[in-house]
A and B are shown apart, each in its own frame.
Chain A
Amino acid sequence: MAHIATDNLTANNLGQLSKISSPEIYSEKFIKECKELGELAQYVYFDEVPVGFVVSNVFQPQNSSVPIGLIISVLKVLPAYAHKYGLENALISYVEKMTTEKRLLHRIFLLADRKNDQWLIAYARKHGFGEDTKTPVHIDSKHQLDLNGKLLLVKHL
């Protein structure tokens, strides 16, 4: 079985990000911000080769005065590696761990695309996520996300 691990984005390996996200192309600005997120953004390595990544943010809805959890805004794994080797699980588990152990929060949110992320939505539902229609989606972050057609899922930890 392959060795799976996660690690931070660094100035030297940012080039990998667009290779994984392809054909979707992110702006230079977005990529730079991802790096600045520090431990909130991670690559996942399959036998030392980066094959996926996750970008999460501290989630503080407009009507709230404190952060209520971490939200996964992007989660990508290369098609050849997707769904089969537990890479998505490794990334989500990582963020869960960050939420409870580092940020001492108790909710993890997942922002998924209704059309493109069907597998992910199904996977999340199976692993304790439920749909959240109450929390208004707003991410306190410098970067803008297109929220059209997105579904917000939540899991209480």
Chain B
Amino acid sequence: MASLSSLFSSKDDTRFKEALDLYENKHYKRAIKILDGIIQHNPKHYESVSLKGLALSNSDLPEKYDALKYIEKACKEGGTDSVVCHIAGLYYRGLKDYKQASKWYNAAMENKSPNKGILRDLSSCLTQTRDYKHLLVSRLGYLESQPAYRANWTSAAIAHCLNGQYDRAEDVLTRIEDLVAGHLSEDDLFEQSECLLLKNRAIYKQGDVSRALEHLEKIAKSGEVGDGAKLLEYKAQYLEELQRPREASLVYRRLLQRNPDNAKYYHDLERCLGTDKMSANVRLALYEKLCEFYPRADPPKFIPLTFLKGEQFAKKVEEYILSQLRRGAPATFVNVKPLYRRKSNRNVIYEVAKRFYDEEKSKLSSSETENDENGNPLRFCWAGYFLAQHFYRVRDYDSALRFIDEAISTTPTLVELYIVKARIFKRMNRLTEACETMNEARKLDLQDRFVNTKAAKYYLRANRVKDAIDTVSLFTRNEKAPNGVQDLHLMQCYWFLIESAEAYGRLAREALREWRKVSVGWDNKKKSQEIDHETVMTREHLRKKTLHLVGLTIKRYRAIVKVFEEYEDDQFDFHHYSMRKGTSRTYLTMLDWEDRLYHQPIFLRAAKGLTNISLEVLNDKPFFQVLLTNPAFSLNRTKKEKKAEEKQREELVKYSKSFPNDADVFAEAILRELADAPLKNAKRNTAGGFAQYADKGTALTRLTDLAKRVNDENSLDGQEIVFRVNQYFNKYVLCLQAMNHAYTADSSAAVVGYLYLNLFKARTNKSTPETIRRILALGLKRNFSELLAVEDSGDSEKLAEGLVQNFFTKNNFASAENLVRCEQIEPSDTFEKRILQIKQSLDPYTLRSLSYIED
């Protein structure tokens, strides 16, 4: 901005410059005062008008929300002025509206702003919105004006890469390489190393693998690349792709020398040697040889267990397990757990461990003499710990409990034993015992954050939110707050956020159930004066409690969404910073990660929960409106009652706040917005005005935005959310598309059956427009013609059978969950029978989760 200042000459311009200085020094009030003076006698001084808008938006004046008005006015009437455009760009960037910001930065450049620095900001905005086509222009433009910095060359090369122009990227990198050759200081070596590797990848991406290999060997020889492991990995990859597996295998052997614990190298090596397709004996011989070379590494011992069978497996797995159990390695079970996928392995492993366990046990009871080297109670405990986990894995929870109890009685001071015991209790759905056992473990070592976290999580699973918060707060910063909830929000601790959202969700469900019960015939009873004061008060308290719980559920889910939005925003600074630091490859990895940000399981879990509860409110607005309304009649509360209530609420507010100035602790505003949402197919409110920035959109917009974010073709959860949101808006064609995506991702997924039934119902629903019904009929026929043939006969049990056979064959939670939901919209004996069947193979804890859906 400073360079702008030199351009002005007239009196207004001089004063504008003065205001600009004040703005830059954050004296917004004084700047605005001067600007007001200019505007008053020269309303067409648009630079001033726009700067006033910018200053206002940064200030904390009450007129803050008028900022947009000034910016829009300046842009509309003075939009050809480069300074106005630049200021508008800065304004929108401040609001994180990077699209608008790019537009105005771009306009500033088109209006011949001499300030080339704008291009840098523009590039960041364009990358943030993934507008790579225009990014190239701005990066190259900035390089032209500032060719003396290597960062600008790297930026240009990366822009080429992002546009898939790897040849041009190579050109740019070669040119700067030639320019800096011989002028590198020690500080530049890292950047040089990264740039060389980036160039190598650019060559490879052009498809010319042999030239990439040649280049790689050249830079390896030069000694300018610091990342030795990557050099070798790339080399092996290139050699393999060039059909030179023997040479590649040698490179993998060198990689193994560097790090014999990386299991991937072993698989790579096998692929190059071709042994992965050979007999087990050949492979075993290879691994035995490797074991000799790397006796301390785990993979060469473990990998053979994944392909050996029968006697050979038994022998090798015994060696593997016993060597660890003898050492008393706590993680032994976790190490062999992947082998449990093959059912025949399970018993073999059990036999080995049980034999060891029995031997240890007899040694303990027989040896009475001092310094007996054989018996070791700790080793015995770890063996029991192993067996308990074995039984947990094969779902024999009673046996698991027996073994862990025996271990605990031997060594009651070992934290790990209690953790497993708590897990067993959890699976048995004995949740109170589970969280109390975990808490017992926690008390053994108060400074162990892991077990503290576990205890808090187990409390949440048992719906004991207060205990959980009190426990986890031992490890948080609790200044100016009664507990760590605010700190956990600030620290983006999303395990806590999601677990508490789900705990509140379960409590809300229970409260809603109770509320429904209480509400039956309430108005009539009230009229006939049958109800005494106490009953009225109880009902009112229940109403408030229910509201708080539903609200907090939404609130915590939304906190997770916010955390991910922050993650998205966090990348902004790196568009510039990474170039300066020369970390180009890591930067590209980060961009990839950010692109998949909203498809992470934890986000999907939160999105699903948030969609469920939002739709529940939207689909039953009158019910929630009653819940949100204060009772029309007087409660006749005594002063004491009122005071107690107020105090309780105050405490609860303090206890549940997500951040210091949280005005809507229980998300009442959001709930109200949902319950009062306009008609189903109302158009999205896109009217301008600051309002949309003050609170980005309404509850409905947020819901559709959420669906857009998770719309990944390969994600079942994502497609389910997209489907359900569109279903709410009656956009059946989009629903159909979502179902088809889900079907392509997994044609036997249980959720597809549920979605199908929904669409089928819509197809036959008279209120669905005729054209839509026709499209649905066609669409459903495409992938599901067999099912549809059944349906046309009008026999709903046959339809149910068809669905069960196609989508609900697995005995897992997903099947049960979707069946229950199917049953809710289309009751059928077939569904019911199948639900009962699946239930028998589910553990008690999963059944509990199911019971919340069955409501």
Contact = CB atoms under 8 A, between A and B. Distances in A.
Interface stretch (B161-169, B438-446, B766-774, B806-814): B438-446
Nearest to B368: A84
A94 interface: no
Contact of B443 (A1, A15, A22): A15
Nearest to A52: B413
Specify which of B368, B412, B413, B447 lies most central, judged by the most chain A CB atoms within 10 Å of its CB. B413
Contacts of B378: 2, 46-47, 49
Contact of A81 (B367, B372, B377): B377
Interface string A1-38: 11000000001110110011010000000000000000
Size class of the contact patch on chain A: 20 to 34
Contacts of A1: 371, 373
Contact of B412 (A13, A22, A84, A86): A22
Interface string A63-90: 0000000000000001011011110000
B454 to A, nearest CB: 15
B445 A12 contact: yes
Interface string B345-372: 0000000000000000000100111111
Interface string B206-242: 0000000000000000000000000000000000000
B141 interface: no
Contacts of A16: 413, 444
B445 A13 contact: yes
A78 B413 contact: yes
A51 B411 contact: yes
Contacts of A80: 364, 377, 410-411
Specify which of B370, B377, B447 lies most central, judged by the most chain A CB atoms within 10 Å of its CB. B377
A118 B827 CA distance: 73
B375 A49 contact: no
B413 A51 contact: yes
B767 to A, nearest CB: 63
Nearest to A11: B446
Interface in B368-411: 368-373, 375-378, 410-411
B370 A19 contact: no
Given A46-B378, A80-B411, A15 B446 contact: yes
A26 B368 CA distance: 29
A1 B375 CA distance: 10
Contacts of B412: 19-20, 22, 78
Given A13-B446, A46-B378, A84 B370 contact: yes
Contacts of A50: 413
Interface in B428-481: 443-447
Contacts of A81: 377, 411
Contacts of B411: 49, 51, 78, 80-81
A29 B391 CA distance: 41
Nearest to B442: A15
B445 A84 contact: no
B357 to A, nearest CB: 15
B670 interface: no
Interface string A81-103: 10111100000000000000000
B328 interface: yes
Contacts of B371: 1, 84-86
Contacts of B788: none
A105 B367 CA distance: 38
A13 B375 CA distance: 27
A13 B415 CA distance: 11
A20 B375 CA distance: 20
A126 B51 CA distance: 93
Interface of B: 328, 364, 367-373, 375-378, 410-414, 443-447
20 contacts: A1-B371, A2-B378, A12-B446, A13-B446, A15-B443, A16-B413, A19-B412, A19-B444, A22-B412, A49-B411, A49-B414, A50-B413, A51-B413, A78-B410, A80-B377, A80-B410, A81-B377, A84-B368, A84-B372, A86-B371
Interface of A: 1-2, 11-13, 15-16, 19-20, 22, 46-47, 49-51, 78, 80-81, 83-86
